[in-house]
Structures are given as structure tokens and as C-alpha cells.
Amino acid sequence: MVSSSWLKLINDLPLSSEILGSPGGFYASTLEWVAIDRLAQSQIDRTYTSIYSKNIIVRTRLPKTVNGEIPPEFQQQLQTETPEIFIVTIPEGRAWSDCAIITPDDRLLADISKAYAPIERHPIFQKWKLRPASYIKGTVVVLAVLGGGHNYYHWMFEVLPRLSLLFASHIGIDDIDYFFLNNCKLSFQQETLAILGIPMEKVIECNKKSHIKARKLIVPSLSGNTFDVPAWVCNFLRSKFLNSEIKSSVGDKRLYVSRTDAAYRKLLNEEEIIDFLSRYGFEDVNLTSMSVTAQIALFASAEVVVAPHGAGLANIVFCHPETKLVELFPPTYVKPYFWFLSNHIPLDYYCAIGEADPDTSFGKSHSYTHNFYIDINKLSEVMIIADIH
């Protein structure tokens, strides 16, 4: 471990991070780098293509609750702004881990180098020496995103949509030599890549120490806020994964999506909930062992979906418009992410907030892990206002 004083000394040396130290700073945006590079009359053949302009989203389909009150977590999100969406080509550009893009002049591009910290404290700036970059004499597209290697939601809504920007720029799979991706060991990753026509032999799987440099590095921008999915992402996923047979399916199933296999945020009285919902014709489903295609077909066949908050609800993007969704929350973790999503389809959205597990040690665990209960009487009232008989 190098001390902070030694790290500063190393990073103050006039050396490229390809030799020693970390990158020599950052550009606040990719567009800033492009503008400065143009002013410098650089001879590199970089391109920047804007795909979608900044946009204000006003959410008009409000969540429905038993008491008619909108939870404050939802009230704070009635309006949002989406960033400009673009794709950039960086000759001799570098990618490090799943969270850093580095320009030929050894600067980080902040808007496409996402980390769990402000850009000034990006993990790459804590490194005194990077692993030597593997040089690739070809065209590489960066699809990897922070946290995209294991979670179904992040894979579907952050990793794969970057391909949409590639296609919108009239760049085909055959034009690309390699795709720089999070690890692709999970079945849902391999299945979705196959559907989208990306052969595994073109995949370079990254890890926390990966460092590549490409003759031509193509980087589609991130879609924006991780959980505030824009409409174009939903449209892309529906266009690529909903085939004609699935589209023509009748939405008549009533589904309860179980979190039995989840490591945390379990619904502790789930058996009671399942028994109650069975009287309304619901079937309980566990998505863990299902293929992506089967999950898509299942949600496309739904009339009503009831589920605790969790990544499996990413599949609501494949529901028919006006499908009813009842989302169940623990009181310590009320996040409106799937309400955002439901506004794009659009879905008929309801939510209910449960009761905390009295055995939870609130000071020793993160709120997103807390198990909870849902009162049957409250769920019964939701069924009434949702007109589910």
C-alpha cells in the first residue's frame, strides 16, 4: 500500500499513466475533450455523434396507494432531466477496469468513467501503477459498466442498451473486432448476447485490473442515472427481445414473483401472501432458474404482477401496456425505480409499504438488505383499489 504522500509525489511526475502513476487529470465531459482536441488541431481521427438530446421528463402517471398518498420518495421524482446521449470514437484510447476511459493525452473522461465516488476520488487516481495496457490492433467497443457483471437489472438496463447507440450510429457487429464487457459467465448474459448477435469469441471480459488500449476505441455513453431508465432504453429492449409470437400473446396471467432465493430483502410472511393471492388466481413464480426468453414470455403474458422490490422486476419492461403492477416495499427501502419504468410502457402502477422485521439490527446492516412483512389487510385493500377480483 502506497501512502498518500508517495502517491501524490508519483502522480506529480511528468509521466504517462501507461508508465507510472494514474492519469494526469480529467475532462468533465467527453464533449469538453473533443472541443479542446479540436482547438489543438490534433491529427487524431476522433468522432463524436450525439444520438439523443437532453430532455425533461415529467411523470404524469402517479403511483396508487391505499390511502391515496404518494410516498415522499416518489414525490421527489415527479420530474427529471436526462443527459445528452452520444457515442465517441477515441483513437489510441484506453479502458481500465469497468469504470474508466482514458484519452490519448492521458486524461479521464468523467461522464463515461462512472465510479462510486466523485470524479476527483475516482479509484484510478488511487493507483500508483496500472497493469500494462494490452494493445489491440483493431476496433473495440466498450460496453462494460460498473456493477454490470452479476446483476440482471444492471445488465439489461445499462450494459445492453449501449449497443443501441452503436446501431443508431450505423455501426454493425461485423464492423467491430472486440467488445469489452463485464464478465459473461452467467447464463442470462450469454443468452442475451446470442440473441443480439454478439459471438463470445469477440468478447474481452474485464475485471478490476483490466487495462486495454485500442487502435480505435468506441465508447457509447452511459444511459444516465442507473435507476432512472430513459424511454429509448425500454424501446430498444422491447424491439430486440419481444418477437411477434410474444407480442401477440394474451395478457391473462396473474403472477406473484417470489424472492425465496434472494439473499436479503425477503418477504417474511410470503407463504401467507401466496395463499392469499391464490384465491385471486395468482401463481407464484421463481425467476432464478428460468431462461431470459422464458422470463420475457412470462411477463408478456401477465395481466397482473405482484412482487417485492427486486431485480426480477426488470422484466416489467416486456409487459403489455396497462398491465397492473403491485410493488411491495420494506419501510426502510422505498425506491421508485420500477415506477419510473412503468411510466414508459405504460403500466397501471400500485405500491404498498410493509412493516419492518423486528429482528433487524438497523445499525449494522444496509437498509436495502432489510427483510419485512406485508399486512394481509393492506394487500387486500390494494386489490380492491386495483379492481382485482
Residue 325's domain is classified under what CATH number?
Answer: 3.40.50
| Residues 219, 289 within the same domain | no
For residues 197 and 332, membership in a common domain is answered with: no
Where does a domain end: 191, 224, 239?
239
Q: Which range among 14-23, 91-100, 301-310, 366-375 shows the weakest confidence by mean pLDDT?
A: 366-375
Mean pLDDT calculated for residue range 63-77: 94
Domain count, the chain: 2
Q: Is the pLDDT of residue 19 over 60?
A: yes
Instruction: Out of 239, 262, 289, pick the residue that ends a domain.
Output: 239
- Looking at the fold, whether 168 and 292 belong to one and the same domain comes out as no
Whether 251 and 311 map to the same domain: the answer is yes
User: Mean pLDDT over residues 319-341, rounded?
Assistant: 96
Q: Is residue 82 part of a domain?
A: no
Give the confidence band of 365 by pLDDT, cuts at 50, 70, 90. Answer: low
Which pLDDT does position 1 carry in this prediction?
54
Please indicate, yes or no, if residue 75 is contained in any of the structural domains: no
pLDDT (average), residues 145-162: 89
Could you tell me whether strands 324-329 and 372-373 are parallel, antiparallel, or unpaired per DSSP bridges? unpaired
Q: Are residues 203 and 256 in the same domain?
A: no
Residues 252 and 230 reside in one and the same domain = no
Report yes or no on 77 lying in a domain.
no
Say if residue 112 is in the same domain as residue 194: yes
Note whether 265 and 367 are same-domain residues: yes
For residues 363 and 261, which has the higher predicted lDDT (pLDDT)?
A: 261
Q: Which segment of 2-6, 176-180, 197-201, 246-250 scores lowest on mean pLDDT? A: 2-6
Torsion of CA 317, 318, 322, 323, to 10 degrees: -110
Residue 102 and residue 178 share a domain: yes
Residue 79 lies in a domain: no
* Residue-number span of the structural domain to which 367 is assigned: 242-385
Q: Does any domain span residue 287?
A: yes
Q: Which of 92, 101, 87 is nearest to 47 (CA)?
A: 87
159 and 15 within one domain: yes
Confidence of residue 245 (pLDDT cuts 50, 70, 90): confident
* pLDDT tier for residue 251 given thresholds of 50, 70 and 90: confident
Instruction: Classify residue 108: in a domain, yes or no.
Output: yes
**Same domain flag for 222 and 259:** no
16-30, 106-120, 126-140, 350-364 — which is least confidently predicted?
A: 350-364
pLDDT, average across residues 130-141:
97
Under the banding of pLDDT at 50, 70 and 90, the label for residue 2 is low
Query: Looking at the domain assignment, is residue 315 inside a domain?
Result: yes
Q: What is the pLDDT of residue 134?
A: 97
Q: Is residue 64 in some structural domain?
A: no
Helix 270-278 and helix 376-385, axial crossing angle in degrees, nearest 10 = 40
Q: Report phi then psi at 150, rounded to 5.
A: -140, -20
Cβ-contact 280, 383 below 8 angstroms? yes
